[in-house]
Amino acid sequence: MLNKKRNLRLMAGIFIIGIVCMFEYAELSYEDVLRLVTFARKRPANDKSRSCTTCVTGWMNDMWFTKRFQPSVRPLLSKRNCMLSENTYKWWQRLQYVTRRANYTKVVKELFQIIPGKDHYLDGGSDRCRVCSVLGNSGNLLGSHYGDQIDSGDCVIRMNKAPTKGYERDVGTRTTHHIFYPESAVNVSNDTNVVLFPFKTLDLEWLMSALTNGTIKRTRENVPARINADKDKVMVLSPAFMRYVHTSWLQNKGVYPSTGFLALIFSLHICDKVNVYGFGANRNRVWHHYFEPPPKNFRLNVPHSVSNEYSVILELSKRKKIQLFTGI
């Protein structure tokens, strides 16, 4: 019994020394260390109950990752977290200016009368190993023959247009989550989860309209008046999460994150193992969608910091937080 107590004291002493060293030499804040301790308790180091040999949250010794990844930030809007801070609201309202203005609080209240307002993906822990396939739409998917591998994920996350018909061998056929914003919306099957990425309050109004009476047919451009989707499977990305991605992961570079980069960080928060496909240029260094011919004169003129986003993706791959498949 005495030996057991002595060992416990010794382990506690080593732990405290380690914490002091992290403060002193790794330039960690109190919040950083708190996140380390919290996640250590959630996912024991010796846990072998599931098949994930490498998990997103296996990052106890990775200071680069802990500086960026904030597990307390909830990715999706719910009735409990839909109120935004003043700074977040102002940042979000500047992303895409439209003349039509609406009361955000009123719109969200009406929205959760149409779609579920519950919290999603609170099932994380040592007994879960959710493997996700996250698909961008890069032309480097053509000829890759990744289809079966993509479809083997527990979750298959596609975004924007992302057609599968005619491209099955390279991009697969399954879709569990389809991400879009109004200007890139498509119809989905009733067994597919929809995740709307809203860049303005009007996007939330459009979602309500598209699921009900179809009165909104234009935002910044013409949009589908209605979409085919199961209302009970519709979710909305939180503007607070979008701002967190912009500040914590991209250090405020670019006007706002791209849909693809938001989707990737979203997957880090809801998945335990993340396989990434269809990001970056093709082998000829041309950026284009797999379902469109390569442009003759390509100019990258977008509000996103594409080079910075891709450098973060490469760093995540290097640190084994994701597995990146670069196609051909």
Phi, psi (deg, nearest 5) at residue 225: -70, -35
If you write DSSP's letter for every residue of 153-175 in order, what string do you get? SSEEEEESS---TT-HHHH-S--
**Structural domains in the chain plus CATH codes:** 73-325 (3.90.1480.20)
Best CA proximity match to 131, nearest among 93, 182, 73, 174: 174
What residues in the chain have per-residue pLDDT under 50?
2, 4-5, 8, 10, 12-50
- Burial level of 149, CB count in 10 A (0-12/13-18/19+)? middle
- Residues annotated as catalytic (active site), given as ranges: 256, 304
Q: Where are the alpha helices (DSSP H) in the chain?
A: 2-25, 30-42, 63-66, 86-93, 104-111, 147-151, 168-171, 201-211, 239-244, 259-270, 306-318
SS3 223: coil
**CA atoms of 197 and 313, how far apart (whole Å):** 20
Of 49, 117, 45, 52, residue with least CA distance to 271: 52
**Model-level pTM?**
0.82
Report the length, in residues, of the chain: 328
Paired sense of beta strands 273-277 and 234-236, if any: unpaired
Tell me the torsion sign for CA atoms 146, 147, 153, 156: positive
- Helix (H) / strand (E) element for 180: namely strand 177-180
Sign of the torsion angle spanned by Cα atoms 318, 69, 104, 234: positive
Report the pLDDT value the prediction gives residue 288, as an integer from 0 to 100. Answer: 87
Report d(CA 277, CA 162) in Å as an integer. 12
CB 125, CB 310: distance < 8 Å = no
CA atoms of 261 and 284, how far apart (whole Å): 22
CA 131, 136, 137, 142 dihedral sign is negative
Q: What is the pLDDT of residues 222-257, one digit of tens each?
A: 999 999 999 999 999 999 999 999 999 999 999 899
Give the separation between CA 127 and CA 281, rounded to whole angstroms: 37
